[in-house]
């Protein structure tokens, strides 16, 4: 990572796969540069699932001011565009207070929306979405994805066919505006700040060991009771998209007696490793990220935070 000239409106983003130590590093660095933290995590923003999402603990929240943590109920919708809009406002507020900003998280799409722009468009014709949701129910996600491939091949190529909500959104924009969502996204409004991105990463063997240890600790910390409480509130990962996430859905399946405890534990580890691989693939495409090898640096958070501080210009 090359030393860069610090500007008053610069923000720092700390990215990387799950279990790589982003939270600890961001808190240590926030104390050095007098910063507040913007959580860039599509699930930590929700209430009731701090263990499943490995959200900052109450002690960590006292150490550094965090935003977009434990703010929304599971039934409230949130997406990359909404995050981009709210986070830009929050960044300006923080900077007006004379503080610096650290963005931390592993939700690559959310970060991209924030620092590269994300188009906002309202489709007033609700019948379009109703028709697409009906088609999803009757014909399944593959049918909608094939429809998108014909309408907007570029967007379809960038999407996971199983992410039906995104597929529906792309089709809704196409039928509602007559334009491809991929074209509209190229007309994004850029933010009025620069983002310096630092990525932290362990070798795969070490990362997978950290993931396995994290899952074991989640279960010891009360993951099952956390999900049982959701169940009692009437929530389900099948009907609440915010809960269709690793750790939560497997625990629901355990409580519904679809999985044994060992099966649940191993499945969470397996799915978390897969998620980490997808995160690494996403972030590796962004050549602006300056990667720090945690194995090479010894993984000592205090030392690494000062290295980043010095590289940022002090």
Q: What is the mean pLDDT of residues 271-280?
A: 96
Last residue within a domain, chosen from 185, 203, 228: 185
Q: The domain that contains 173 carries what CATH number?
A: 1.10.20.140
Number of domains in the chain: 2
pLDDT tens for 169-182 read 889 888 887 878 87
Would you say residue 6 lies in a domain?
A: no
196 and 288 housed in the same domain: yes
In this structure, the answer to whether residues 39 and 114 fall within a common structural domain is yes
Phi (first) and psi of residue 66, to 5 degrees: -115, 150
Report the sign of the C-alpha dihedral through residues 269, 275, 279, 281, in that order. positive
| Shared domain check, 197 and 166 | no
State yes or no: pLDDT of 7 exceeds 80.
Answer: no
Domain boundary (162, 185, 208) is at 185
Q: Are residues 42 and 137 in the same domain?
A: no
Which of residues 154 and 57 earns the better pLDDT score? 57
Read off the CATH number of the domain in which 28 is found.
Answer: 3.40.50.300
d(CA 20, CA 291): 12
Q: Could you tell me if 167 and 195 lie in one domain?
A: no
Q: Verify that 266 and 283 share a domain, yes or no.
A: yes
Last residue of a domain, one of 139, 168, 185: 185
- Are 211 and 272 spatial neighbours (Cβ–Cβ below 8 Å)? yes
Say if residue 66's pLDDT is above 90. yes
pLDDT at 4: 43
Kindly state whether residue 4 falls inside one of the protein's structural domains: no
Distance of CA 192 to the CA centre of its chain: 22
- How high is the mean pLDDT of the chain? 90
Say what the pTM is: 0.80
Confidence grade of residue 124 (pLDDT, cut at 50, 70, 90): low
3 in a domain, yes or no? Answer: no
Quick one: 112 and 202 in the same domain?
yes
Structural domain harbouring 87? 11-118+189-311
Based on the domain organization, do 114 and 40 belong to the same domain?
A: yes
Asked if 10 and 35 count as a contact pair (C-beta separation under 8 A), the reply is: no
**One domain for residues 231 and 306:** yes
Residue 1 placed within a domain? no
Give yes or no: residues 92 and 178 share one domain: no
The top-scoring range by mean pLDDT among 68-82, 245-259, 288-302 is 245-259
Q: What is the pLDDT of residue 218?
A: 98
Which residue from 41, 38, 86 is spatially nearest to 245, judged by alpha carbons?
Answer: 41
DSSP string, the chain: -------TT-EEEEE-STTSSHHHHHHHHHHHHTEEEEE--TTTTBTT-TTTTTPPPHHHHHHS-EESSS-B-TTS---HHHHHHHHHHHHHHHHHTT-EEEEE-S-HHHHHHHHH---------HHHHHHHHHHHHHH-HHHHHHHHHHH-HHHHHHS-TT-HHHHHHHHHHHHHHSS-HHHHHTTPPPPSS-EEEEEEE--HHHHHHHHHHHHHHHHHHTHHHHHHHHHHTT--TTT-GGG-STTHHHHHHHHTTSS-HHHHHHHHHHHHHHHHHHHHHHHHT-TT-EEEEHHHHTT-HHHHHHHHHHHTT-
Which pLDDT score is estimated for 148?
94
Question: pLDDT of 226-261, one tens digit each?
Answer: 999 999 999 999 999 899 999 999 999 999 999 999
Q: Is pLDDT above 90 for 2?
A: no
Instruction: Round the CA-based radius of gyration of the chain to a whole number and report it.
Output: 20
Provide the 10 A C-beta neighbour count for residue 260: 10
Question: Which residue(s) pair with 197 in the sheet?
Answer: 13
Residues 6+ apart with CB under 8 A from 314: 6
Is residue 2 in some structural domain?
A: no
| 133 shares a domain with 109 | no
- Domain assignment present for residue 48? The answer is yes
pLDDT in tens, 212-223: 999 999 999 999
149 and 37 part of one domain: no
Q: Is residue 176 part of a domain?
A: yes
């Amino acid at each position: 990572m090359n030393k860069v000239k610090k500007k008053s409106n610069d923000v720092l983003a700390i990215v990387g796969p799950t279990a790589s130590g982003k939270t600890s590093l961001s808190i240590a660095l926030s104390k050095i540069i007098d910063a507040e933290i913007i959580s860039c995590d599509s699930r930590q923003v929700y209430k009731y699932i701090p263990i499943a999402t490995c959200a900052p603990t109450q002690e960590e929240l006292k150490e550094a001011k965090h935003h977009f943590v434990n703010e929304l109920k599971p039934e409230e919708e949130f997406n990359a565009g909404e995050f981009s809009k709210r986070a830009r406002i929050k960044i300006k507020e923080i900077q007006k207070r004379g503080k610096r900003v650290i963005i931390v998280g592993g939700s690559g799409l959310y970060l991209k929306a924030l620092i590269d722009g994300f188009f906002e468009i309202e489709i007033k014709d609700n019948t379009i979405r109703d028709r697409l949701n009906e088609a999803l129910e009757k014909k399944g996600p593959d049918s909608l994805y094939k429809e998108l491939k014909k309408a907007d091949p570029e967007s379809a190529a960038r999407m996971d066919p199983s992410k039906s909500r995104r597929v529906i959104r792309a089709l809704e924009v196409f039928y509602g505006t007559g334009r491809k969502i991929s074209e509209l996204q190229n007309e994004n409004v850029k933010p009025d700040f620069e983002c310096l991105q630092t990525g932290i990463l362990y070798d795969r063997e070490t990362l997978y060991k950290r993931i396995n240890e994290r899952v074991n600790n989640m279960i010891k910390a009360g993951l099952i009771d956390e999900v049982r409480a959701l169940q009692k509130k009437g929530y389900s990962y099948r009907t609440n998209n915010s809960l269709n996430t690793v750790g939560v859905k497997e625990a629901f399946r355990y409580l519904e007696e679809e999985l044994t405890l060992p099966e649940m534990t191993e499945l969470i580890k397996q799915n978390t490793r897969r998620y980490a691989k997808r995160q690494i693939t996403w972030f590796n495409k962004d050549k602006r990220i300056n990667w720090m090898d945690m194995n090479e640096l010894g993984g000592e958070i205090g030392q690494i935070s000062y290295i980043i501080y010095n590289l940022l210009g002090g």
